Amino acid sequence: MPPPLSLPVLLTPFQAALSEWGDRVRRDLPWRHTRDPWSVLVSELMLQQTQVARVMPRYVGFLARFPTPAACALAPVGEVVRAWAGLGYNRRAVHLHMAAAVVVDRFEGALPEGLDQLRSLPGVGPYTARAVSAFAFEHDVGVVDTNAARVLARAVAGRRLAPVEAQALADSVVPPGRGWAWNQAMLDLGATVCTRRRPRCGQCPLAAPPVGATVGGCVWAGGGHTGPDPADGSAGVSGPQSAFAGSDRQGRGRLVDALRAGPVTVAALPVACGWPQEPLRAQRVAAGLVADGLAVVADDGSLRLP
């Protein structure tokens, strides 16, 4: 865990309050012990729509198997998918393999530093590019995930934010020279205190202006939490997901898990998906896996990992 950093004299009350809190309570997570761009990229793709608790036990093992972009690119994509077991959203494993191949082919095996170059990698969108920029290269850019977006809407703006507004606001509040620590604090605050349901305002360093300051506290809390929650509908704030049980997503996950153990025949597809009475649905899901690069059709017609 990096030691607390000394704070610049010219921090605003808002920046000072969140920076002090972040340095004091920062969660000890394995990807926060590295500035290696590949390791950071792996962690960010794993964390997309997946809880921290599920990622932690798999992150270290995955990097032991694929410590560099070259190691990942040289392996069959099926091996990367196998190593992704337990994380869900298996298409991310395919994207990571594709990104590794591009890094090797175009960037001599090292992740690029520029945002536009990072965005050119398969599976790397605006959030992931900025996360690698801040957490690997320590650039002063704002990282807006669903947790940080709630903090921005509630504490800083006090209203719903459009996508361009949210990103511009996130960039504007990063204290110079503290891009890494600041973004970690924003993510931690949104994940542990400024939560979607029942935010813990009594524990928030921004709930009220710092002592002696007239500005700097949470705008929403300062207004008595009146009106609708500013985070609802704001850019970057995710809403509730559709039910997983019985969904195609569940069937896809079951089928990929079956493929990790070996090829699956056409006749076995319905059972592998968990829908023994729905062969057409199972075949449709199987075709989707092939289209997404998660499976290939063998000469005998069975399905296997690439």
Backbone φ/ψ region at 212: left (φ over 0), alpha (ψ -120 to 50), beta? left
First to last CA, the chain: 39
CA distance 263 to 16: 56
Is 44 noted as a catalytic residue in this protein?
yes
Task: Give phi and psi for 304, each to the nearest 5.
Answer: -145, 165
Q: Catalytic pick from 20, 44, 113, 165?
A: 44
Identify whether the C-beta of residue 151 lies closer than 8 Å to the C-beta of residue 189: yes
Closest alpha carbon to 189 in 235, 151, 141, 143: 151
Cα separation, 74 vs 46, whole angstroms: 20
Look up residue 3 and give its two tokens: 């030691």
- CA dist., res. 17 & res. 289, Å (int): 47
Give the catalytic positions in this structure. Answer: 44
